[in-house]
Amino acid sequence: MNSRSSNEPTDSALAAPRGEQGDSSYPSVLAPGALGRRKLRYFTAIVVVAAAALVRLGFLQALGTRATFVTFYPAVMLAALYGGLPAGLLATVLSAGLADYFWLEPAGLAIQDPGDWLAIAIFLGSGTMISAVTEAMHRAQARAREAEIRAGLAAAGRREAEALKKAHAELEIRVQERTAELKRTTESLRQSSLHARSLIEASLDPLVTISPEGKITDVNQATEQATGVPRAEMIGSDFSNYFTEPDKAREGYRRVISEGCMRDYPLTIRHTSGCTMDVLYNATVYRNEGGQAQGVFAAARDITERKRAEAELARYREHLEDLVLQRTDDLARSNRDLEQFAYVASHDLQEPLRAVAGFVGLLRQRYQGKLDEKADGYISSAVDGVTRMQTLIGDLLSYSRVGTKGIAMEPTDTGESLKDALTNLHASIEESGAVIQVDPLPTVRADAGQLTQLCQNLIANAIKFRSDKPPEIHIGARREQDAWLFWVQDNGIGIDPQYTERIFMIFQRLHTRQKYPGTGIGLAICKRIVERHGGSIWFESQPGWGSTFYFTLPDKGEPV
């Protein structure tokens, strides 16, 4: 391994020069390896000596045996230049040997002439000196180079230090800037954190965050107040501890985790004092930026007031219902009493009426023509009066019976009821020559008897209040929403619309008794019957143009 011998410029510029003996001073192009270099040095020494020898040989003629060592001095110099002291020494020795061998008398290595010894000695000495000096030169050069390098390095180092310092300073500035920024950011973060926190603390609703393990991680003031437990104690505890129904709370927590959010989950918070607070919880799972669940955030809404209000409302509603029931009872009773009164009154009036009518009638029988005219007149009027009274009372009885004697509603063929009515009126129909047209009529839930009475009254009116022409009466029905609409149309004298309300009232008449008989109860009874069935009755008419009476019978469309 000879990493040291590599002369890459960068390495040598920064690495502290080692001053290895001779190694670093050699030209890079000729320094493949330390050992190699050594071998090469010696080899070079040998070569130059040999070359010197040859050159001296070449000058043999000119020089003879004079200046024996002349060519060997350059050789030694060259060898020393290239290979340093060892190479120079080798060259010196070799040169001396060769010179001695070839040019000093006698031939061969022996030396006889002391002058020759001196020459050789001087040569050796010179050679050694040359080598040493050259070596020293090398070394000095090497040192100088090293120093240069060092200086260069130092300069480079200084430059770099400068640059570093500058960079440092810049960095320092930037760091300061960043620190300032950081401070500002931290400050504003702190502010907004404080702000957010103050909002959370200001919330009147108890807020809580719960970890994925079900432990409280944070609460606000409102929660402390609701539970009576300080914040520090609550953090880390199981959240379900603070409810009257911990299982229900845990169930809610599970639902939030699985569904992501929950609204209006009812729970009751328990205060350490024993008080409870009814609340509705809104909770959600909150996540970090990566979408991982961090915990549950829950807000409670105090519904104590609301519950109280609801309870009161329920109480009032019950009370109201009770009142309504009571009133309905009262009303029903009052109605019954009234009807009973009407019935009984009418019924019990019959007897005295009969007495009056009877005796006055007997009077007339016995004494007609036997008293004066005036007496006859009085008696007639009395009889009339009583008869009328009887009719009125009879009618009143019929009217009151619509409510009391009505039977339960059953599916009734209205066509049949109409037929019965027509049968009852058969005499007056024939007498008046009335033409009656009947459309197909439906089956409805109704009281058959009352329906007959209703039709009878309407048709009787149509016949009674006829014009000069024979009465033409048309009866029909059509389906309306939730009901059947019936009509009885005639070509009679018509009714002035201003009497819309009046004609349906008891004993209200529009004509004198002389013109048209009747007590004025017919339509009142019709109205009562229709209303008992839940329908309504009205008419359309113009005087002189006939009338059409309409009435509805509700029919919810149940299959009949």
Partner 1 sequence: MVEDSPSDAQLTVEALHAAKIANRLSHVEDGVEALRFLRREGPYADAPRPDLILLDLNLPRKDGREVLDELKQDSDLKVIPVVVLTTSRSEHDVLRSYQLHANCYITKPVDFTQFMEVVKAIEHFWLTVVTLPKEK
Query: Quick check: 182 binds partner 1 (CB under 8 A)?
Result: no
Contact 386, 353 (CB under 8 A): yes
Contact 467, 440 (CB under 8 A): no
**Whole-number Å distance between alpha carbons of 194 and 543:** 89
**Complex with partner 1: residue 204 or 355, whichever CB lies closer:** 355
∠ CA 206-210-214 to the nearest 5 degrees?
Answer: 130
Query: Quick check: 390 binds partner 1 (CB under 8 A)?
Result: yes
φ and ψ at residue 443, rounded to 5 degrees: -105, 130
**Complex with partner 1: residue 356 or 510, whichever CB lies closer:** 356
Instruction: Tell which one of 236, 358, 517, 557 touches partner 1 (CB under 8 A).
Output: 358
* 3-state secondary structure at position 182: helix
Piece of the chain touching partner 1 by CB under 8 A; list 29-37, 284-292, 350-358, 549-557: 350-358
Instruction: Tell which one of 43, 117, 341, 359 touches partner 1 (CB under 8 A).
Output: 359
What's CA 166's distance to the chain center, in Å?
Answer: 57
**Complex with partner 1: residue 336 or 478, whichever CB lies closer:** 336
φ and ψ at residue 510, rounded to 5 degrees: -105, -5
Minimum separation from the CB atom of position 549 to partner 1 (A): 29
Piece of the chain touching partner 1 by CB under 8 A; list 22-30, 107-115, 280-288, 359-367: 359-367
Query: Quick check: 354 binds partner 1 (CB under 8 A)?
Result: yes
DSSP letters spanning 404-426: HSPPPPEEEEHHHHHHHHHHHTH
Minimum separation from the CB atom of position 353 to partner 1 (A): 7
345-354: long-range contacts (C-beta < 8 A, 24 or more apart)?
345/396, 346/393, 346/394, 346/396, 346/397, 346/400, 347/397, 349/393, 350/390, 350/393, 353/386, 353/389, 353/390, 353/393, 354/390
Query: Quick check: 385 binds partner 1 (CB under 8 A)?
Result: no
Query: Quick check: 403 binds partner 1 (CB under 8 A)?
Result: no
**Complex with partner 1: residue 78 or 397, whichever CB lies closer:** 397
HSE of 498 in the Cβ direction (CA atoms, 13 Å)?
1
Instruction: Tell which one of 357, 382, 460, 505 touches partner 1 (CB under 8 A).
Output: 357
Minimum separation from the CB atom of position 519 to partner 1 (A): 14
Minimum separation from the CB atom of position 336 to partner 1 (A): 17
**Complex with partner 1: residue 282 or 390, whichever CB lies closer:** 390
DSSP letters spanning 105-154: SSSSS----HHHHHHHHHHHHHHHHHHHHHHHHHHHHHHHHHHHHHHHHH
Site string for partner 1, 41-80 (x = CB under 8 A): ----------------------------------------
- Cβ neighbours around 522 below 10 Å, total: 22
Site string for partner 1, 361-380 (x = CB under 8 A): xx------------------
Number of residues that bind partner 1 (CB under 8 A): 15
Query: Quick check: 350 binds partner 1 (CB under 8 A)?
Result: yes
Which among 44, 128, 55, 62 has a CA at the least distance from the CA of 98?
55
Piece of the chain touching partner 1 by CB under 8 A; list 9-17, 264-272, 286-294, 348-356: 348-356
Instruction: Tell which one of 268, 387, 424, 428 touches partner 1 (CB under 8 A).
Output: 387
Piece of the chain touching partner 1 by CB under 8 A; list 37-45, 75-83, 349-357, 430-438: 349-357
Piece of the chain touching partner 1 by CB under 8 A; list 55-63, 310-318, 352-360, 434-442: 352-360
**Complex with partner 1: residue 361 or 442, whichever CB lies closer:** 361
**Whole-number Å distance between alpha carbons of 543 and 503:** 14
Query: Quick check: 315 binds partner 1 (CB under 8 A)?
Result: no
Pairing of strands 435-438, 261-270: unpaired
Q: What is the DSSP letter of 229?
A: -
**Whole-number Å distance between alpha carbons of 10 and 29:** 17
**Whole-number Å distance between alpha carbons of 91 and 80:** 8
3: CB partners within 8 A, 6+ apart: none
Instruction: Tell which one of 33, 212, 352, 377 touches partner 1 (CB under 8 A).
Output: 352
Instruction: Tell which one of 353, 409, 438, 506 touches partner 1 (CB under 8 A).
Output: 353
Could you tell me the two tokens for 179?
Answer: 């620190």
Minimum separation from the CB atom of position 357 to partner 1 (A): 4
Minimum separation from the CB atom of position 348 to partner 1 (A): 9
**Complex with partner 1: residue 391 or 428, whichever CB lies closer:** 391
Minimum separation from the CB atom of position 399 to partner 1 (A): 16
Query: Quick check: 125 binds partner 1 (CB under 8 A)?
Result: no
**Complex with partner 1: residue 270 or 401, whichever CB lies closer:** 401
Distances (CA, A) of 4 to 25, 32, 425: 13, 12, 148
86: CB partners within 8 A, 6+ apart: 38, 41, 42
Could you tell me the two tokens for 255?
Answer: 């639902």
What's CA 549's distance to the chain center, in Å?
Answer: 62
Query: Quick check: 355 binds partner 1 (CB under 8 A)?
Result: yes
**Complex with partner 1: residue 237 or 350, whichever CB lies closer:** 350
Query: Quick check: 351 binds partner 1 (CB under 8 A)?
Result: yes
Contact 88, 130 (CB under 8 A): yes
Piece of the chain touching partner 1 by CB under 8 A; list 160-168, 191-199, 355-363, 476-484: 355-363
Query: Quick check: 347 binds partner 1 (CB under 8 A)?
Result: yes
Give contact residues for partner 1 (rule: CB under 8 A): 347, 350-355, 357-359, 361-362, 387, 390, 394
